[in-house]
């Protein structure tokens, strides 16, 4: 079952179960995917969003909600922060499992070997290998400094 099919099935299940918060989050996910498909129409590229692109959309949605939750907490709007955190939980159900610290280090070492990286100048190659293999499984903002340390 593809990720898109899982999302559609979950949407129908949430409607049947009258899970209002979950339903609204799933609708937001579907809207983001549909927006991406509409953006692709004019480019002449494949009009169907791939699994990797859906994973990237979901990752972006999680990051946006994390930032919003942080801002709401700083502003004392805890009810809004809780809503954002609840949406994150629903979105993360459809993301691949996040790699733990040792797994991330192993993935970085494998990417360095695969890219044949020897210095910090090869960091872009390493990051490209990591993104190709581990999209949605790690936070690339946090991985960048670790890659830099391993290349030094």
pLDDT reported for residue 21 = 92
What pLDDT score was predicted for residue 149? 80
pTM of the model: 0.73
pLDDT tens column, 20-75: 999 999 999 999 999 988 888 877 666 778 887 888 889 889 889 999 999 999 99
Q: Which two structure tokens, joined as six digits, stand for 78? A: 């805890």
Residue 102 CB-half CA count within 13 A: 0
What pLDDT does residue 46 have? 66
**CA 58, 62, 65: angle at the middle one, nearest 5?**
135
The answer, yes or no, to whether residue 142 has pLDDT greater than 80, is no
Q: Which domains does the chain have, with CATH numbers?
A: 3-92 (1.10.1510.10), 101-151 (1.10.10)
pLDDT at residue number 72:
95
Region 96-115: mean pLDDT is 82
Burial of 75: CB neighbours in 10 Å, binned 0-12, 13-18, 19+: exposed
pLDDT score, position 109? 84
Give yes or no for residue 148 having a pLDDT over 90.
no
Smallest Cα–Cα separation from 139: which of 62, 83, 73? Answer: 62
Angle CA 134–71–73, to nearest 5: 110
CA-CA-CA-CA dihedral for 52, 55, 60, 65, to nearest 10: 180
User: What is the distance between the alpha carbons of residues 82 and 111, in angstroms, rounded to a whole number?
Assistant: 37
For the ranges 40-44, 72-76, 108-112, 123-127, the lowest mean pLDDT is seen at 40-44
């Amino acid at each position: 079952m593809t990720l898109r099919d899982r999302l559609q099935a979950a949407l129908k299940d949430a409607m049947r179960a009258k899970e209002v918060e979950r339903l609204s989050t799933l609708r937001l996910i579907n809207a983001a995917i549909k927006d991406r498909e509409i953006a692709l129409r004019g480019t002449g590229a494949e009009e169907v969003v791939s699994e990797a692109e859906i994973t990237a959309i979901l990752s972006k949605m999680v990051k946006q909600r994390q930032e919003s939750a942080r801002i709401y907490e700083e502003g004392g709007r805890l009810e809004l922060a809780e809503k954002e955190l609840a949406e994150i939980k629903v979105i993360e159900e459809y993301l691949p499992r996040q790699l733990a610290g040792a797994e991330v280090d192993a993935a970085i070492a494998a990417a360095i070997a695969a890219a044949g990286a020897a210095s910090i100048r090869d960091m872009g190659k390493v990051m490209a290998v990591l993104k190709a293999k581990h999209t949605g499984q790690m936070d690339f903002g946090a991985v960048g400094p670790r890659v830099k340390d391993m290349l030094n």
